[in-house]
Amino acid sequence: MIYIVTHSYRDNDPDPSHTTSGMLKLSSDPVFSVVSLIAYHWKGVIYVGTGKRFRETFGAFKSVLQKCEVKYSPLFGSEESRRDTPEEKLVVLSDNEEISLEQYMTFADFKGFDAWRILRHLPKGSLILTGRQFCKCLGIESKSCSVYEINPCKKIVACIIAEGVRIRDLSIQ
């Protein structure tokens, strides 16, 4: 299994940080206890997006993930973020420049990009701290502060926690 944890509620700044309530949601139950359980049973690799909100997500769990190998990649989340207004959908670049969503290409927009193949080649038990963009590549309509258990060989996704609310138990319990 591979596990995905999405960042929590964030500000609307360039390379946004979490809001105070977003950080509290990450560091409280059930999210913290599920990540602790994953870390206890599996000593895989932790993959963290390079944007501030993904690094803050790792920081919220650092006490239980400290013995795991950590790798950072923009594949799992960069500094860019979405800012939608009633008039238009925007992408905010790291320098605060706003571009229309139509001008922005995600990995999912490139023909032949296969996120499932990437997951199949990660070590068993890996934990990915990511956001909606990578989840979209897997066909997951992700929510903030959520945990997903993934079988990459069978392309099965189970939502464990959705927006901080436990939906089901991990299969490792």
Give me the CATH number covering residue 132. Answer: 3.40.50.1240
The C-alpha atoms of residue 40 and residue 65 are separated, in whole angstroms, by 9
Residue 31 has pLDDT above 80, yes or no: yes
- Does residue 148 sit within a domain? yes
- Does residue 93 sit within a domain? no
- Does residue 86 sit within a domain? no
Angle subtended by helix axes 52-65 and 31-41, to nearest 10: 60
How distant, in Å, are the alpha carbons of 43, 130, 146, 150 from that of 135?
Answer: 22, 8, 11, 11
Q: Most distant CA pair in the chain: distance in Å?
A: 47
pLDDT of amino acid 173: 47
The C-alpha atoms of residue 59 and residue 100 are separated, in whole angstroms, by 31
- Does residue 88 sit within a domain? no
Taking phi first (over 0 means left), then psi (-120 to 50 degrees means alpha), and beta for anything else, what does residue 31 get?
A: alpha
Identify the residue whose tokens are 């590549």: 137
- Does residue 62 sit within a domain? yes
DSSP H helical ranges for 70-143: 115-120, 132-137
- Does residue 66 sit within a domain? yes
Find the domain containing 14 and state its range: 2-78+105-166
Residue 90's pLDDT band, with cuts at 50, 70 and 90, is very high
Is 12 exposed, middle or buried (CB count within 10 Å of its CB: 0-12, 13-18, 19+)?
A: exposed
- Does residue 7 sit within a domain? yes
Among 10-19, 36-45, 88-97, the range of highest mean pLDDT: 88-97
pLDDT of amino acid 38: 86
pLDDT of amino acid 44: 78
- Does residue 119 sit within a domain? yes
Tens digits of per-residue pLDDT, 116-167? 999 999 998 899 999 988 999 999 988 889 999 999 999 999 999 999 999 9
Please give the tally of structural domains in the chain.
1
